[in-house]
Amino acid sequence: MRKPTVSGRVWAYIGAALGGTVSIAANVAHSYVPPADAPAAWTPQTGAVVGAIFWPVALFVVTEILARVVWPSGKGWMAIRFGGLLPVALVAALVSYKHLAGLLRFYGEDAVTAHLGPLAVDGLMVMATGALLATARRTTEPIVPAVAKVTAPVASTVPVSAVAPVPVAAVPEVKKTATPRVMPRPASAENVAKAAAKLPGATIAEIAARAGVSVSTARRHLPAQRVTDASPFAPVAAETPALAAA
């Protein structure tokens, strides 16, 4: 897609300038049209010529004011903007139409050209004015008030040497008391204890057989007082031979 070399706002200014120039020229030329009963040495008054220039210029100025000024939001401001634009635009269009139509009739144009010709100039002015307003809405940015920069107060620095060190009380180290780990009692120990309780006078071999464990396991789990000489693993006292009396 080809990028346009001239922006739309430039064309809007070109259209406004062209329409304004034609309108001013037509109004000034119409002011030089002599009335029907004018003498031969008649010339237009200066006020009539200045007034003919005023209407197109007033329309262009009010359009620029409306387009370039950043107006506050609100219904009241909107009424002021468009309430001021519409009368100027309508009066300028009506005066320009009458002057250009009268000028065309003076030049001998037919009635159709005299009535429709001014509409082309007025339409060009309306289109250029609308384009200026439309492009101004995209290019104008609201003015944001500048925020004053607040400088934070700088705290006064105190030399390190001027501050006396504060002694810190020594905290005694607390040692944790080790908690003895309780090992779960094996099932063989419970079986041996139950068998010993049921057989109070039994030997270690009988208790081991009742508990279903080995004799060494039963001896390990039984208290020392239960280990009796009746156990087959208990030491046997040496027999002392009787000495015959001499």
* Residue 170: per-residue pLDDT: 64
Digit-coded pLDDT (tens) for 134-161 = 887 655 455 455 555 555 555 555 455 5
Here the tokens at position 102 are: 């009268």
How many Å apart are CA 228 and CA 232, to the nearest integer? 9
Q: Is the dihedral of CA 212, 215, 216, 220 positive or negative?
A: positive
Q: d(Cα 33, Cα 38) in Å, to the nearest integer? A: 10
Contact 132, 16 (CB under 8 A): yes
Q: pLDDT tens for residues 29-47?
A: 988 888 888 888 888 888 8
The mean-pLDDT minimum among 12-26, 96-110, 210-224 falls in: 210-224
Task: Choose between 76 and 148: higher pLDDT.
Answer: 76
pLDDT exceeds 70 at position 28: yes
pLDDT at 216: 84
* Contact between 94 and 60 (Cβ < 8 Å): no
| Residue 129: band (very low, low, confident or very high) from pLDDT cuts 50, 70, 90 | confident
Per-residue pLDDT, 177:
66
Q: Given a cut of 50, is residue 230 above it in pLDDT? A: no
Cα of 144 vs its chain's centroid, Å:
19
Predicted local confidence at residue 168, as pLDDT: 64
Q: What is the mean pLDDT of residues 206-228?
A: 75
**The pLDDT of residue 194:** 86
Q: What percent of the chain has pLDDT over 70?
A: 67
Work out the pLDDT band at 174, boundaries 50, 70, 90: low
Six-digit token pair at 216?
């060494």
